[in-house]
Amino acid sequence: MTRAPVQPVFVDRKTAAEMLMISVDTFDTWLRAGFIPAPPIDRGQIVRWHWPSLEERLAGGADAAHHDPSVMGALNVQKGRNRAAA
């Protein structure tokens, strides 16, 4: 009997960034801009996001966030940094 892969429920920022297929720097930029909500678990060195909530927020709020000037500015800054490195 084969078991289905286990989907993590609470993830750290590195794992969340990997699951979103973005860099940790981009994840941090999105967090500062409010595109990604603050982590519900923040106990010193233990910081975790509830993955299903994060996934739902990004799936449902992506269009609204793209119209938010602060989010767009943060994303443009990140893009500009990537261009400068190339």
Q: What is the 3-state secondary structure (H, E, C) of the chain?
A: CCCCCCCCCEECHHHHHHHHCCCHHHHHHHHHHCCCCCCCEEECCEEEEEHHHHHHHHHHHHHHHHCCHHHHHHHHHHHHHHHHHC
Q: Kindly give the parts of the chain with pLDDT less than 50.
A: 62, 64, 86
Tokens 């943060």: give the residue. Answer: 74
Give tens-digit pLDDT for 41-60. Answer: 999 999 999 999 999 988 98
Q: What is the pLDDT of residue 64?
A: 47
Report yes or no: 33 and 75 within 8 Å, Cβ to Cβ. yes
pLDDT score at 68:
55
